[in-house]
Amino acid sequence: MKDFFDISIIWKKVNQKLSEKEANELQDWARNSLVRKNYAEKTYSYFKTGPKIKTSDINVAKAKRKVSFLIFTKPKITKAYKVVAVFVSVISIVFVLHQINRDNLIAESTVKIEPGKAKATIVLSDGSRHYLDEENPQELNEKGTVILNSGNKLDYKTEHTSDLLHAERLQSRYNTIKIPRGGEFFLSLSDGTKVWLNSETTITYPLQFGEKERKVQLIGEAYFEVEHNPDKPFKVEIEGQVIEVLGTTFNVKAYADESKTSTTLVNGSVRIELGEEQENVVITPGFQCEVNRMNKSYTVSQVDVRSVTAWKEGYYMFDDATLEEMMLTLSRWYDFTFNFKNDHVRQLRFSGKLKRTDRFEDILTIIENTNEMKFKVKEKNVIID
Amino acid sequence: MKIEEKILLNEIRKKNKDVFNFLFEQYYPALVKFSEIYLHHLPECEDVVQSFFISFWTGAENININTSIKSYFYTSIKNLCLNRIRDLKVQDKYEILYIESLVNTNNIEMILDSDIFDSINAALEALPQQMSEIFCQKYFEGKHLKEIAKELNVSEGTVKTQLHRARTKLREKLRETTNLNFIL
């Protein structure tokens, strides 16, 4: 460091007095170099008047975007690039064979896995079944109640009747809607409550609600926007639980093949009755109550409501979900079955957003790009390796 | 290193983007301002800090921090800046750039409540006596850093609430993105 110039000499020039030796050192260093001269001046001015950069000069968001772009996307590209490079240079023949095999594989499967769409079956109180989908808009009529079916939505228009006997009859008549795998449907109940129904879901409700309460039964997943009526609480019955609300918006997920049920509140308030021996749980907006089916133990936690209700808006948001959870959710919408060949793959975690209209192959490709697993599709079964 | 900082570094190693974004937002502007004294040019300053964060993310496995994340950040930026001006053949023998910049871009309370305090104090003590006195007069009303620390520690000032707020925010962030609630 002998021929290095000590910057504290400039500091001394500002704050103290320079000795002759130091003054010479400064001169020698800056002589014949514009860059050094310039640097000396800037340093001098900093010591004299302080920093010039203000916080408002710094665009953190822009910097973050730049850095995120570089680090969150770059490794993937290089990784994929490397893989391709290896294939091409070392075992290019294998790569070609691999490609051919893949093409064969796709050609082999004749049944295509496709995104779901609006479809449902309604069972009327007389036991008759009607298939509902977008190609078959129709008007159903039951006991004076008009059920408008516009293909993706059912609308109940009940004339308010003063005939008590007739009203009682309506209250004891139930309709059931079944949404198959790969289906979704929208329902507007006689009280104005709106219900979005997800795949593999069954809901049962009376043609007209009783005097004291409004009660529906649910298996599967639904998003409710309940019409406010303080005199008649709205109740959703899921296996072993009653969810009671006033006017409120919430999502219920209660699939028979999942070990937990979950209720997520968007706004309003909700009370969950877990049965005789358990205390009731009250949750507030932004919170989710998960109940273990087996022992009725529950947890309440804060969640990102948007990711829970994203399905209703036409997309899926996964936030650090395991591959298994993700496949389970997707399998209902795309209607496929899946097997894991390898247990550690089950627990791989993913975050991201997918459109419900995305082609299934594209989704698999996106997940495969992580290079952590391979998918094999045979008919409607997906093997994950 | 404190336990929560260890968790933080671990989260970075586990590629937790939220923790990275949090640290970036917390430190980016301060580090850019800190680097001004070495580089005197905003784009250059931003570039140094951005490059630093990129290598912090990609090389997190090999990072060993003995002090605190904050002082690790400042020391790293200092070294990167000095590397950039190597061609000018300058050296910061007494770390005068380092202390001037820290004192100019941080408020005194923040300095006193971190590992930065030790490094500034050490640098001040290494200064020739006259320089050290001038420095203290200029910035600390003639008092030495240790005396100020002592005074401030007695009074529960805004420092603690400020730091507390930052820590609470951090904890929330970690809670959102990890399963480490029980430690924090």
For residue A292, how many C-alpha atoms fall within 13 Å in the half-sphere facing its CB? 7
Average per-residue pLDDT in chain A? 81
CATH of the domain at A271: 2.60.120.1440
Q: pLDDT value at position A160?
A: 63
Mark which of A282, A310, A338 sits at the end of a domain.
A310
Q: Which residue type is seen at B146?
A: K
What is the arithmetic mean of pLDDT over A146-161? 76
Cα–Cα nearest to A280, from A268, A291, A293, A271: A271
Q: What is the pLDDT along chain B (184 residues), one digit of tens a residue?
A: 677 778 888 889 988 888 899 899 989 999 999 999 999 999 889 989 998 998 899 888 888 888 888 889 999 999 999 988 988 899 998 999 999 999 999 877 778 777 788 888 888 888 888 888 888 888 888 888 888 877 766 455 555 555 566 666 666 766 666 544 333 3
Asked whether the beta carbons of residue A58 and residue B101 sit closer than 8 angstroms, the reply is: no
Flag whether B164 is in a domain.
Answer: yes
pLDDT band at A258 (very low <50, low <70, confident <90, very high): confident
Beta carbons of A301 and A269 less than 8 angstroms apart: no
Nearest-Cα residue of chain B relative to residue A31: B88
Kindly state the DSSP code that residue A294 receives in the 8-state scheme: T
Residues A297 and A195 in one domain: yes
Residues A48 and A60 in one domain: no
Residues A121 and A152 in one domain: yes
For chain A, positions 44-103, list CB contacts with chain B under 8 A.
46-47, 50-53, 55, 57-58, 60, 63-64, 66-68, 70-72, 75
Residues of chain B in Cβ contact (below 8 Å) with chain A = 17, 21, 24-25, 28-29, 32-33, 36-37, 40, 42, 45-46, 49-50, 53-54, 57-58, 85, 88-94, 96-97, 100-101, 104-105, 130-131, 134-135, 138, 177
Residues A354 and A278 in one domain: no
> Is a pLDDT exceeding 90 seen at residue A151?
no
Residue B52: exposure state from Cβ atoms within 10 A (0-12, 13-18, ≥19): buried
Compute the nearest-CA separation of B154 from chain A (Å): 30
> Is a pLDDT exceeding 50 seen at residue A97?
no
Would you say how long chain B is, in residues? 184
Residues A175 and A262 in one domain: yes
Q: pLDDT value at position A222?
A: 96
Q: pLDDT value at position A263?
A: 94
A29-55 pLDDT, tens digit each: 998 888 899 999 999 999 999 999 999
Flag whether A1 is in a domain.
Answer: no
Q: pLDDT value at position A42?
A: 94
What's the CA gap between A206 and B95, in Å, rounded? 80
What's the CA gap between A98 and A349, in Å, rounded? 27
Flag whether A2 is in a domain.
Answer: no
Q: pLDDT value at position A108?
A: 42
Looking at per-residue pLDDT, the higher value among A293 and A91 belongs to A293
Does the CB of A3 have a partner CB in chain B at under 8 Å? yes
What is the arithmetic mean of pLDDT over A300-308? 87
Pairing relation of β-strands A260-267 and A287-292?
antiparallel
Q: pLDDT value at position A82?
A: 40
pLDDT band at A150 (very low <50, low <70, confident <90, very high): confident
Nearest-Cα residue of chain A relative to residue B39: A39
Residues A40 and A101 in one domain: no
What's the CA gap between A164 and A179, in Å, rounded? 33
Cα–Cα nearest to A245, from A228, A270, A219: A270
Looking at per-residue pLDDT, the higher value among A130 and A197 belongs to A197
Nearest-Cα residue of chain B relative to residue A28: B89
> Is a pLDDT exceeding 70 seen at residue A359?
yes
Asked whether the beta carbons of residue B88 and residue A67 sit closer than 8 angstroms, the reply is: no
In degrees and rounded to multiples of 5, residue A197 shows phi and psi of -110, 130
Cα–Cα nearest to A288, from A273, A303, A271: A303
Flag whether A372 is in a domain.
Answer: yes
Flag whether A212 is in a domain.
Answer: yes
B53 membership: H or E segment, kind and range? helix B42-58
What's the CA gap between A203 and A183, in Å, rounded? 14
Residue A125: exposure state from Cβ atoms within 10 A (0-12, 13-18, ≥19): middle
Distances, alpha carbon B11 to alpha carbons A294, B7, B63, in Å = 34, 6, 13
Q: pLDDT value at position B171?
A: 67
Q: Which residue type is seen at A296?
A: K
What is the arithmetic mean of pLDDT over A108-127? 78
Total domains in the fold of chain A: 4
Residues A296 and A339 in one domain: no
Residues A208 and A267 in one domain: yes
Most confident residue range from A101-105, A141-145, A174-178, A242-246: A174-178
Of B29, B57, B91, the CB nearest to A55: B29
Does the CB of A299 have a partner CB in chain B at under 8 Å? no
Residues A21 and A76 in one domain: no
Flag whether B182 is in a domain.
Answer: no
What is the arithmetic mean of pLDDT over A147-160? 78
Beta carbons of B23 and B69 less than 8 angstroms apart: yes
Total domains in the fold of chain B: 1
Flag whether A333 is in a domain.
Answer: yes
Q: pLDDT value at position A76?
A: 37
Q: pLDDT value at position A83?
A: 40
Of B25, B37, B91, the CB nearest to A46: B37
Q: pLDDT value at position B182?
A: 35
In degrees and rounded to multiples of 5, residue A337 shows phi and psi of -110, 160
Would you say how long chain A is, in residues? 385
Residues A98 and A173 in one domain: no
User: Which positions in chain B touch A75 (Cβ < 8 Å)?
Assistant: 58
User: Which positions in chain B touch A320 (Cβ < 8 Å)?
Assistant: 177
Q: pLDDT value at position A208?
A: 83
Most confident residue range from A147-161, A358-372, B17-31, B135-149: B17-31
Beta carbons of A114 and A97 less than 8 angstroms apart: no
Beta carbons of A107 and A172 less than 8 angstroms apart: no
Domain span at residue B148 reads: 3-177
Mark which of A259, A290, A310 sits at the end of a domain.
A310
What is the arithmetic mean of pLDDT over A298-308? 87
Does the CB of A34 have a partner CB in chain B at under 8 Å? no
What is the arithmetic mean of pLDDT over A258-265? 90
Q: Which residues contact B97 (CB under 8 A, 6 or more apart)?
A: A7, B37, B38, B78
Asked whether the beta carbons of residue B50 and residue A3 sit closer than 8 angstroms, the reply is: no
Q: Which residue has the tokens 């924090």?
A: B184
pLDDT band at A92 (very low <50, low <70, confident <90, very high): very low
Looking at per-residue pLDDT, the higher value among A72 and B170 belongs to A72
pLDDT band at A197 (very low <50, low <70, confident <90, very high): very high
Compute the nearest-CA separation of B118 from chain A (Å): 21
Q: pLDDT value at position A124?
A: 84
Residues A184 and A297 in one domain: yes
Flag whether A3 is in a domain.
Answer: no
CATH of the domain at A368: 3.55.50.30
- Count other Cβ atoms within 10 Å, centred on residue A240: 14
ipTM of the complex: 0.87
Residues A37 and A100 in one domain: no
Domain span at residue A82 reads: 56-108
What is the arithmetic mean of pLDDT over A331-348? 88
Please give the share of chain A, as a percent, with pLDDT higher than 90: 32
